[in-house]
Each structure stands twice: as C-alpha cells, then as structure tokens.
Structure 1
Amino acid sequence: MEKLPNAWKGQYTRGSQQGPTVMLEVVASHDMWIWHAFFGMAGSNEDSNVLNNSSIFDALKNVSVPLASFYVDGHHYTKGYYLGEGIYPDWATLIKGYSQSMDEKRAKFKRFQESARKGVERTFGVLQGRFDILKSPTRAIRFNKLKEYMNTCIMLHNMIQEDNGFQISLIKEAMLADPYNRPRRNIINRSRDRDTISREIRDRRVHDQLREDLTEHIWNLPATFVALTKISIYVIFI
C-alpha cells in the first residue's frame, strides 16, 4: 500500500503501522498450508474487528464441517481451536497464551503456544518471497483486483507446497477421507443451530477451561513432545 491515494490513507492507517495497510487474516498450519484467508479490511481496524467480519467460523456455525471431538485432561470438547495472539477475544475456539506467567506451568504453556504460532508468520514470509506482486505499489490497481491477486497467490502457494511434498498435515487427508454429510434442516432449525453454535464459540468459560487443561497436559509431557495443535490464526499487514 505504499502508493495508496492520499484520500484513502486515513481509513487504512493506524498508529501501530508506519503507513496505510490492508489486512490479511490467515489460518496456517506448521507445514505452511493456508487453510483460510480473509483479505481486504482497512488497516485502521483492530484484529478483533477483522475476526468478527471474516468467514473463519461460518462453516462451523452452518454445521457444514465435522465436529472435532477430543479429550484433554479428562474433559470432553467438541470444537477444534486455533492459536491466537493476546489481542483476540477469549473464545472457546481461540486459545491464547497467558499475559502473565505466574508459575512454571503457565510459562511452559506460553512457550509452547508461541512456538507453535511461528509457523503462520513463516508462511506469510514464504508467500511474499514467492510472489513479488505482493510487494509492488498498488495505487493503479483496483481494490477488487487486489483481492483477486491475493487469493490467486494463496492458491498457487498451496499448490506449490503440495507439489513439493511439503504439505504434511494429516488433518486435510482425514477430512477428505471421511466427508461429512450435511443433515437436511429447515430454515428454523438452521437459524437455531447457528445461534447456539455462535454462543458456544464465544464461550469464555470453555476457553479458560481448555487453556487450563492444555496447560496441565503440556506440563505432564516430556520436554521433546510437541503437544499443541499447530494451526494458528494471524492478522498480517501488507
């Protein structure tokens, strides 16, 4: 956004950035496979605003993906989770590190959580390195074209990863091997299910309980065992 028109700069600029930016929300796993991308929010928005406007949890709300059933420290959970930074809200599907590590258990969890999140930052670095167009001036490009360029680069990136044999995550293969049959529901049931799942996603109590369970789980593991799911959500400025 180095050549953004002056009339637009205010809505695309905020204090933490040197100049006008457009925000890209990315979900990536440790093998640099991009699972979700949402591009186009003005840089003046907070990360939580981007999250509320993205479609990251739409499939979950619409019951169009299989539930991720798992147990941690004796407690049962039915939804998967992403690793996020501290600026994100305390949702059941977003697990953040502790802002203050008061004991060794929390300090260890924070180290694991931050280490697992580095994959998504590395993914964007590789994405930018592969496609110079993402670093080019944008003044003469229409905004819709910018979105097309970004989506095209992300698709090509995933194709390159898979073709080179670097796409090693077992999650994608498991989802393809066991397709989910969406149940037939009328509009009333769909609306009720969506509202219920939306409340469950935003449940802070589940977030706190899951984080405590993961903290205890990691504390009891050998130091060489990586326990956290390495799928992270990240907002990047370009």
Structure 2
Amino acid sequence: MLEAVASYYNWIWHAFFGVAGSNNDLNVLNASNLFNSMLNEETEDIPFTVNGVKYKREYYLADGIYPWWASFVKAFSNANDEKRKYFSKKQAAARKDVERTYFTGALAYITTTSKDNGFALTENDWVYEPVHNMQTTWIERCETYRRRTKELRDREVHEGLRSDLVEHVWANRETSESETESD
C-alpha cells in the first residue's frame, strides 16, 4: 500500500509505504508521517485563498474511502447538479493525472533512490529540520497536537473548501468557455 503526494507535473512530494500486512488506506493514513508532521508543527502551514475564502493548510485530492478531513477534497459520489458533476469529473481527472506518475517508471526510481541513501526521495540530500521550538513543554506540545488534530479533522472546513473549489472550478469553466465562444 502506497500513500503518495504528487503534483500535476509528476513531481513527487511525499511517499509512504504502509506497514506490511496493513493493506488498508486508513491504516496507512494513520501511520503516515505526512499528517503527524503537520500535527506536531514540524511543517509550515501553506495558506491559500479560493473563492475569496482564506484556508490555513494545503489540501489533497482523495477518493471516497478517505475521511472528511479539512485537508482532503473528495469528489461527490452522487452529484445532483451540473456544478458538482463538473467538479467531480475534474477532480477525478486530476487524481488520475497524479496517479499516472507511478506508471511512468517513477516508482522504480523512488524505490531505488530510497534504498541508496536511506531516506531521500530524489537525488537531493534532504535534511530533516523540525520547525517547532524545542523549548516548548510537553504539555504545550500535547495541547498543540490536540488543537491541530481537531483542525485537521474539521468536517465543516472540508465541506467549505469543497464548496469553494466547486465554485472556483465552475467560474473558471465559464470563463474559459466564454473566451472560446468569443474567438
């Protein structure tokens, strides 16, 4: 089981192979250092604005098995209007574009490189440097972890982000189509 984050341009940002025998997306997710790093403030927040609303952290395209976390954007399983149908189609296409990364030989490269230097996913030597302040107390770190867990698993933020992305994708669709029609 592989958890991976890749850009549209096939740049692999994160790869995590699940523990042997787990073979379950949710078990891999819970063991992944991607979200643990976020919860422990070892990574920077990546704020962005969509549809006029500012969001605190990056998001990931996910399929239906993933939970309703603030960082996951899932397609609509039963889209009931044109906007949601269009969004679901675009979201699935983007996910497939990212998945194709692993059918172009990149997976073999990742595996080989990981074995060569122990932890890097590319030829670059990555250095792990936690962002959090080592002077914080255990209680402060536990409180931060609890607060960030609540933020990460906020279904309202998930729904708001997905709605804002639907509007953004739909608005860009209309702009693109109207420009094409006027040409």
Q: Same fold (TM over 0.5)?
A: yes
The equivalent of 2:59 in structure 1 is 81
Q: How does 1:1-238 map to 2 (within 5 A)?
A: 23-42=1-20, 45-127=23-105, 151-152=114-115, 158-159=122-123, 182-183=132-133, 184-222=135-173
Q: Is the CA contact 2:113–2:121 (under 8 Å) kept in the aligned structure 1?
A: no
The alignment yields a C-alpha RMSD, in angstroms, of 3.0
| Cα distance change on mapping 1:117 and 1:208 into 2, 3 Å | same
The equivalent of 1:171 in structure 2 is none
Q: Which has the higher helix share?
A: 2
Q: Which fold has the larger relative contact order, with Cα–Cα distance below 8 Å and residues 6 or more apart in sequence?
A: 1
Q: Is the CA contact 1:24–1:41 (under 8 Å) kept in the aligned structure 2?
A: no
Alignment TM-score, normalising by the size of structure 1:
0.62
Instruction: State the Cα distance separating 1:34 from its structure 2 match.
Output: 1.5
5+ residue gaps, structure 2: 177-183
Query: How many residues were matched structurally?
Result: 170
The percentage of counterpart residues that share the same residue type is 41
Instruction: State the Cα distance separating 1:64 from its structure 2 match.
Output: 2.0
Greater Cα shift, 114-123 or 79-88? 114-123
| Aligned equivalents of 1:153, 1:75: Cα separation in 2 | 43
| Aligned equivalents of 1:214, 1:79: Cα separation in 2 | 14
| Aligned equivalents of 1:58, 1:73: Cα separation in 2 | 29
| Cα distance change on mapping 1:190 and 1:180 into 2, 3 Å | closer
Q: Is the CA contact 1:82–1:94 (under 8 Å) kept in the aligned structure 2?
A: yes
| Cα distance change on mapping 1:117 and 1:43 into 2, 3 Å | farther
Partner of 1:221, secondary structure, is helix
**Counterpart code for 1:95:** V
The equivalent of 1:15 in structure 2 is none
Instruction: State the Cα distance separating 1:78 from its structure 2 match.
Output: 0.4
